[in-house]
Amino acid sequence: MNTDPLKKKWANAIQSIADLSKGDPIHVDPLEKRWAYVILAIAGLFVAIIMIDALVHNINPPSHVETIDSARLHLSKEFAEDNLGVQVDDNGNVTVRIVAGRYGFYPKQVTVPSGTPLKFRWVSMDVLHGIHLPMTNMNTMILPGYVAELKTDFPKPGNYPLLCNEYCGMGHDHMWGSITVVAKEHWSAPVKIASKGDSNHE
Amino acid sequence: MSQLSEEERQKIINSSPIGTWVLMLTVSLGMVAAWLFLYYGVFLPRGAIG
């Protein structure tokens, strides 16, 4: 078998790499170079807009990390049944707590005001779930053992379906709920009802 | 078969590539406009996530 052409090919390739490392100029067509500058400028513009929004307007991907025992949610103070849904604290901050699991969201439906900063806290009681509200930016995974927290607001009133977008088992396609957004002036904070019986969530 | 004379051919080769510039400008402006629309016209009006 004649290996000379192969050896020659390899020698040329190695020589080319050696030439590159010596700093020999590579010819780039001026038009190609200008096109590359245009692309770099466009990419720079997009990155600059995103950076300004992140640093000035605080628009960032959610990065909250908080652990929780998924098997004992009902015993936790925050995610006990009485505390789920919409709550407003003394400062007027609206927090929505929802538990996902067993092919459902608990509570299945919540009503929130439009144009108001909302803090959503999601937890899973069993396996990996996800949430997606079409026509909004709400979309995150709910990992068992972690609290998925994100802040947003819904500028437009309407009834938004809440869907699980991570395959979680045979009943995954039945796992849905809804979030109703009403105009701020028509919304009133839910009245907290005292729990019946002597439940002990501590 | 090309009907250009050698002189005409050289003139075209040495002249500025107007068609390419127009294409580059159109694609660039289109891409920037589409991105800005999706960011400011769709993403932010739906409520920023944080």
Based on the fold, state whether residues A35 and A77 are members of the same structural domain: no
In a domain, B43, yes or no: yes
Based on the fold, state whether residues A148 and A103 are members of the same structural domain: yes
In a 13 Å sphere around the CA of A188, the CA atoms on its Cβ side amount to 2
Distance CA A60, CA A152 (A): 11
Mean pLDDT across the stretch A123-127? 94
**Closest to A195 (Cα-Cα) out of A97, A85, A82, A84:** A82
Q: What pTM did the predictor assign?
A: 0.74
Largest CA distance in chain A: 92
Based on the fold, state whether residues A100 and A176 are members of the same structural domain: yes
ipTM rounded to 2 decimals: 0.75
pLDDT over 50 (residue A9): yes
pLDDT in tens, A129-140: 999 999 999 999
Chain A interface, Cβ < 8 Å to B: 31, 34-35, 38, 42, 45-46, 49, 53, 57-62, 135-138, 150-155
Task: Give A79→chain B minimum CA distance, Å.
Answer: 22
- B34 is written with which tokens? 């589409």
Which range marks the domain in which residue A108 is found? 70-186
Split at pLDDT 50, 70, 90, the class of A201 is very low
Based on the fold, state whether residues A91 and A141 are members of the same structural domain: yes
Based on the fold, state whether residues A86 and A50 are members of the same structural domain: no
Split at pLDDT 50, 70, 90, the class of B34 is very high
In a domain, A132, yes or no: yes
> What is residue B21's predicted lDDT score, i.e. its pLDDT?
86
AA letter at A32: E
| Domain count within chain B | 1
Based on the fold, state whether residues A100 and A143 are members of the same structural domain: yes
> What is residue A24's predicted lDDT score, i.e. its pLDDT?
60
In a domain, B38, yes or no: yes
> What is residue A52's predicted lDDT score, i.e. its pLDDT?
93
Answer with the residue of higher pLDDT: A71 or A4. A71
Contact B49 A151 (CB under 8 A): yes
Mean of per-residue pLDDT scores for chain A: 87
Q: In terms of CA atoms, which chain B residue is nearest residue A35?
A: B24
- Chain B residues with CB under 8 Å of A136 CB are 46-47
In a domain, A172, yes or no: yes
> What is residue A192's predicted lDDT score, i.e. its pLDDT?
65
pLDDT over 70 (residue A2): no
CB A119 within 8 A of CB A96: yes
Based on the fold, state whether residues A42 and A123 are members of the same structural domain: no
In a domain, B11, yes or no: no
Chain B interface, Cβ < 8 Å to A: 17, 20, 24, 28, 31-32, 35, 39, 43-50
Mutation test of the interface with chain B: which of A42, A50, A57, A135, choosing the one with the most B Cβ atoms within 10 A? A42
Based on the fold, state whether residues A29 and A129 are members of the same structural domain: no
pLDDT over 80 (residue B2): no
Query: Which domain CATH number covers A125?
Result: 2.60.40.420
In a domain, A200, yes or no: no
Mean pLDDT across the stretch A151-173? 93
H-helix or E-strand spanning residue A179: strand A176-182
Could you say which of A42, A152, A155 has the minimum Cβ distance to residue B45? A155
Based on the fold, state whether residues A105 and A135 are members of the same structural domain: yes
> What is residue A202's predicted lDDT score, i.e. its pLDDT?
39
In a domain, A65, yes or no: no
> What is residue A62's predicted lDDT score, i.e. its pLDDT?
81
Based on the fold, state whether residues A135 and A166 are members of the same structural domain: yes
Which range marks the domain in which residue B32 is found? 17-50
| Domain count within chain A | 2
Distance CA A88, CA A135 (A): 25
In a domain, B6, yes or no: no
User: In degrees rounded to 5, what are phi and psi of residue A81?
Assistant: -55, -40
pLDDT over 80 (residue A34): yes
> What is residue A23's predicted lDDT score, i.e. its pLDDT?
63
In a domain, A133, yes or no: yes
pLDDT over 50 (residue B23): yes
> What is residue A99's predicted lDDT score, i.e. its pLDDT?
95
Based on the fold, state whether residues A125 and A175 are members of the same structural domain: yes
pLDDT in tens, A169-200: 999 999 999 999 999 888 888 876 555 444 44
> What is residue A92's predicted lDDT score, i.e. its pLDDT?
87
